[in-house]
């Protein structure tokens, strides 16, 4: 298994792999997908290469129908399954009994890797998010000034989901220490100091009860 940090999940049709190599340019990336393996090679300005390999994959994929995209914090690959088998792991030969198991029923629900410490029902989370968006829309239609806290919380969640570990630590520390008046993703900065409360102009910050 590659030592480069990566995560994965699966649906009935594909396996989605996120490889956390930051600030990769498309021109510097070489992707080699085979039926039972994948390889990423990132060319560095120093002339050396960073290589990420998974060989063999737990089950065969369709390389021609698989895709990838380069994002700022990671490289995301969508590997098209050749069949509807549920993957118990990402890399290595699974037991014959597992590969011959009854295919999972077709659905839009996401399955999860068995190595995950905590499983989440992503479909429920997506539904909850959609319900919150609908409720927020209703609140704004009644009062344009309503729902501010909910909108801020939703924005914070989206930023947090795409952030690195250091950025998440910075966001939590700055938001808590500033009593919700400041939000920073610069861990190098906020780790060295206490983030002060920054009230809006013409307002003064006071402790509860004052």
Q: What are the sequence ranges of the domains in the chain?
A: 6-99, 122-190
Q: Smallest Cα–Cα separation from 57: which of 101, 88, 96? A: 88
Q: Smallest Cα–Cα separation from 90: which of 186, 9, 202? A: 9
pLDDT tens digit sequence for 156-199 = 777 777 788 888 888 888 888 877 777 888 888 878 888 887 66
> Which CATH topology does 6-99 take?
Immunoglobulin-like (2.60.40)
pLDDT of residue 40 exceeding 70, the answer is yes
Q: Identify which has the larger pLDDT, 176 or 126.
A: 176
| pTM higher than 0.85 | no
- As a whole-number percent, the residues of the chain with pLDDT over 70 amount to 63
């Amino acid at each position: 298994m590659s030592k480069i940090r990566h995560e994965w999940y699966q649906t009935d049709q594909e396996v989605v792999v996120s490889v956390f190599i930051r600030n990769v340019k498309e021109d510097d990336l070489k992707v080699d997908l085979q039926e039972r393996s994948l390889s990423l090679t990132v060319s560095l300005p120093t002339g050396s290469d960073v290589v990420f390999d998974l060989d063999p994959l737990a089950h065969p994929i369709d390389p021609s129908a698989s895709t990838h995209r380069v994002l700022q914090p990671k490289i995301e690959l969508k590997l098209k399954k050749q069949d509807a088998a549920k993957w118990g792991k990402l890399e290595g030969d699974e037991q014959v009994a597992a590969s011959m198991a009854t295919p999972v029923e077709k659905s839009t629900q996401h399955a999860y890797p068995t190595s995950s410490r905590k499983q989440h029902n992503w479909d429920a989370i997506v539904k909850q998010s959609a319900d919150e968006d609908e409720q927020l829309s209703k609140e704004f239609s009644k009062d344009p000034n309503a729902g501010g806290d909910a909108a801020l919380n939703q924005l914070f969640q989206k930023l947090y989901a795409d952030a690195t570990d250091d950025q998440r630590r910075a966001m939590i520390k700055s938001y808590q220490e500033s009593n919700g008046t400041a939000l920073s993703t610069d861990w190098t900065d906020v780790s060295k100091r206490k983030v002060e409360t920054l009230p809006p102009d013409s307002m003064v910050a006071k402790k509860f009860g004052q």
